[in-house]
Amino acid sequence: MTDHSFDLVILGGGSGGYAAALRAAELGKTVALVEKDKVGGTCLHRGCIPTKALLHAAEVADAARDASAIGIRATFEGVDPAGVRAYREGIVAKKYKGLEGLVKARGITVVNGEGRLEAGPAVRVGDDLYRGTDVVLATGSYSRTLPGLEIGGRILTSEYALELDEIPRSVVILGGGVIGVEFASVWRSFGADVTIVEALDHLVPNEDVALSKGLERAFRRRGIQYSLGVRFQSATQTADAVIVNLEDGKTFTADYLLVAVGRGPASAGLGYEEAGVTIDRGFVITDERLRTGVDHVWAVGDIVPGLQLAHRGFQQGIFVAEEIAGLSPVVVPDAQIPKVTYSHPEVASVGLTEAQAADAHGADGIVAYEYNLAGNGKSEILGTSGIVKVVRAKDGPVLGVHLIGDRVGELITEGQLVVGWEAHPEDIAPYVHAHPTQSEALGEAFLALAGKPLHAL
């Protein structure tokens, strides 16, 4: 057995782990990054990046089909699964190579192998022990399933769906959250018949209900079917089909069933509880500054209760590295972290929904305004419909920004600044949005809430 000593040992090389490693190294710390697979984690290799590459391929397919509507003569001959896969894998490989180079340039020691937390604090990998003045837990998450629903064959999680070498003729998607609606969007653009089964009353149920209803209307126009408010009961598969049964007696048959019911924290069997770390339903419990109950042991990313987003992991990794270095970074609450669903159309939000704002401030203490993208020139050029919805405290700051429409994910950073800085619409109204851009739609909503609408009544 060999002992190694570092200022910081990080267990997990995904978004949160490698962000902590990069920032700590930048601050002069010696860093060991323990990863059993590839640095970059789920986001780079099996999540954010490859799925967004698929979504871009889907966007191109739709553009080719509809080219004649804008006077372009083009022929859509179909989707080449092998070509799409090569494109997607090329993107991932390039980003992975760049990340490897960055980690190497910062002098970070990458330890390949399965790690386990031990008292000290330390992380054991095989016969070697990596002791850290501080240890960061960043082991991420895995695709959940439901009791009695076994993954395999024609029943897939998102990781397996990415590896399909065919375009399904039909798919049932269990779960109408982010992963479910993104895959629904891709497969529909590729020509598949798609049905989403969501036990709650709306698609993307964590969003403001105006966005959920807008996405439901858009999906209906696209021919994406969905069942809402009825729970899944069972699924059986044959050699060439999956039969899905709901509790109300409805039955769906498709080539594949995608299970997209959320992600669970990857914390089991890693020595956390044995080392004294408090675990609740698999999640690592921390204080607001991401300290566990064990001295000098921290946790970041999907294993910490809250939003499971790569950019939240980045932020938390940077935060912990700076906290360890004594820089006292600012805590960013989950409500101020932007969310984007990259379907067609996109959904993006930050801050409180109208319902959450009403609960916090009273129904009479808030004002909500919706601006329709039909009034926005750039949205008309792009051929997208949707809305911008802004919620403010009455005579007070903006509490939430909610968007639906193609490419609106690029606008949500402005919303984050407005919500995070507790700006009033009157503060923002004098600032100019370039014309013609979709960002003008946000500007119009702020103008309206400031009492001086321009292109709205």
Cβ atoms within 10 Å of 239's Cβ, excluding its own? 6
312 three-state secondary structure:
helix
273 three-state secondary structure:
coil
Which H or E run includes 324? helix 310-324
Kindly give, in sequence order, each residue whose CB lies less than 8 Å from that of residue 428, ignoring residues fewer than 6 positions away: 398, 418, 443, 446, 450
CA-to-CA distance for 406 and 307, rounded, in angstroms? Answer: 23
By annotation, the residues acting in catalysis are 435
Output the CA torsion sign for 288, 291, 292, 294: negative
Cβ(139)–Cβ(303) under 8 Å?
yes
CA-to-CA distance for 295 and 276, rounded, in angstroms? Answer: 10
Residue the block writes with tokens 């395999």: 152
Instruction: Compute φ and ψ for 196, nearest 5 degrees.
Output: -100, 135
Give the closest residue to 46 by CA, choosing from 159, 179, 180, 164: 159
The DSSP result for 21-50, as a single string, is HHHHHHTT--EEEEESS-TTHHHHHHSHHH
Give the closest residue to 327 by CA, choosing from 353, 370, 289, 361: 289
CA-to-CA distance for 349 and 412, rounded, in angstroms? Answer: 7
Beta bridge partners of 355: none
Residue the block writes with tokens 């994910």: 409
Residue the block writes with tokens 């690592």: 284
CA-to-CA distance for 193 and 207, rounded, in angstroms? Answer: 25
CA-to-CA distance for 48 and 46, rounded, in angstroms? Answer: 7
Cβ(341)–Cβ(348) under 8 Å?
yes
CA-to-CA distance for 441 and 447, rounded, in angstroms? Answer: 10
Cβ(302)–Cβ(266) under 8 Å?
yes
What are the CA-CA distances from residue 130 to residues 114, 119, 205, 267, 397 (Å)? 12, 11, 43, 19, 48
Give the closest residue to 82 by CA, choosing from 196, 156, 164, 199: 164
Cβ atoms within 10 Å of 269's Cβ, excluding its own? 8
